[in-house]
Amino acid sequence: MSATARRPPRPGGQLSFDDLGTPLPQADLVVVDLETTGTDPSADAITEIGAVRVRGGEVLGEFRTFVDPQRPIPAYIARLTGISDAAVAGAPRIETVLPMFLDFARDAALVAHNARFDIGFLRAQCARIDHGWPDPLVLDTLQLARQVFGRDEVRDHRLGTLAAHVGASVAPDHRALSDARATVDVLHAIIERLGPARAGTLEDLASAHRRLAPVQLRKRHLARDVPTGPGVYQFLGDGDQVLYVGTSRDLRTRVRTYFSASERRRKVLDMLPRAQRVRTIPCASALEAAVRELRIIGAEKPPANRHGLTPEKALWLRLGPGSQGLRGARLATVEEDGIAHIGPLRSRREIEPLRGLLTDAVLGGAVSRDGAGPPSRIGSAHHEALRRAMILDPSPVLEHGTRRMRAFAGAGRYEDAARVRSLLETYLQAAGRAARLRAIRACRLLVAARPHTDPRSSERSWELLAVRGGRFAGAAMVPLAADPLPIAEALARTGTGEAEQVTPLCQGYHQETELILRWLEHEDVRIVLREGSWAVPARARFDLSSLQETYARTH
In tens, the pLDDT along 244-259 reads: 999 998 899 889 889 8
| Per-residue confidence (pLDDT) for residue 21, from 0 to 100 | 63
Which uninterrupted H or E stretch holds 381? helix 380-391
Summarised one tens digit per residue, pLDDT across range 459-474 is 889 999 999 999 999 9
Q: Which amino acid is at 436?
A: R
Summarised one tens digit per residue, pLDDT across range 133-168 is 888 989 999 999 998 898 889 999 999 999 999 999
| Per-residue confidence (pLDDT) for residue 238, from 0 to 100 | 95
| Per-residue confidence (pLDDT) for residue 456, from 0 to 100 | 67
Instruction: Using alpha carbons only, give the angle 22, 25, 29 rounded to the nearest 5 degrees.
Output: 80
- Which of these ranges, 132-146, 187-201, 280-294, has the smallest mean pLDDT? 187-201
Average pLDDT, the chain: 88
Residue 395 pLDDT > 90: yes
CB 461 within 8 A of CB 452: yes
Summarised one tens digit per residue, pLDDT across range 53-99 is 999 999 999 999 999 999 999 998 998 899 999 999 999 999 999 99
Summarised one tens digit per residue, pLDDT across range 200-236 is 888 778 877 666 788 988 998 999 999 988 999 999 9
CB 261 within 8 A of CB 207: yes
**Sheet strand arrangement including 460-468:** 471-479, 460-468, 445-453, 526-531
| Per-residue confidence (pLDDT) for residue 308, from 0 to 100 | 64
Q: What percent of the chain has pLDDT over 70?
A: 92
β-strand partners of 61: 53
pLDDT class of 400 with cuts at 50, 70, 90: very high
Alpha-carbon torsion angle 322, 327, 366, 402, nearest 10:
-130
CB 342 within 8 A of CB 355: no
Q: What single string gives the DSSP state of each residue in 466-478?
A: EEETTEEEEEEEE
The average pLDDT across 109-126 equals 95
- Say how many C-beta atoms besides its own lie within 10 A of residue 291's C-beta: 25
Residue 367 pLDDT > 70: no
CB 50 within 8 A of CB 72: no
| Per-residue confidence (pLDDT) for residue 316, from 0 to 100 | 97
Summarised one tens digit per residue, pLDDT across range 323-351 is 788 999 999 999 999 999 999 998 899 99
| Per-residue confidence (pLDDT) for residue 381, from 0 to 100 | 85
Q: What percent of the chain has pLDDT over 90?
A: 66
- Which of these ranges, 6-20, 37-51, 206-220, 221-235, has the smallest mean pLDDT? 6-20
CB 267 within 8 A of CB 304: yes
Report the candidate in 422, 521, 427, 389 with the shortest Cα–Cα distance to residue 467.
521
Report the candidate in 228, 233, 237, 316 with the shortest Cα–Cα distance to residue 271.
237
Summarised one tens digit per residue, pLDDT across range 484-527 is 899 999 999 988 889 899 999 999 999 999 999 999 988 889 99
pLDDT class of 40 with cuts at 50, 70, 90: very high
Q: Which amino acid is at 83?
A: I
Q: Which residues contact 424 (CB under 8 A, 6 or more apart)?
A: 357, 397, 398, 401, 402, 547
- Which of these ranges, 109-113, 148-152, 376-380, has the smallest mean pLDDT? 376-380
The pTM of this model reads 0.68
Q: Which amino acid is at 394?
A: P
Residue 10 pLDDT > 70: no
Q: What is the DSSP letter of 505?
A: G
- Structural domains present in the chain: 28-200 (3.30.420.10), 210-300 (3.40.1440.10), 321-439+541-553 (no CATH), 443-531 (no CATH)
The backbone region for 174, taken as left when phi is positive above 0, alpha when psi lies in -120 to 50, beta otherwise, is: left
Residue 7 pLDDT > 50: no
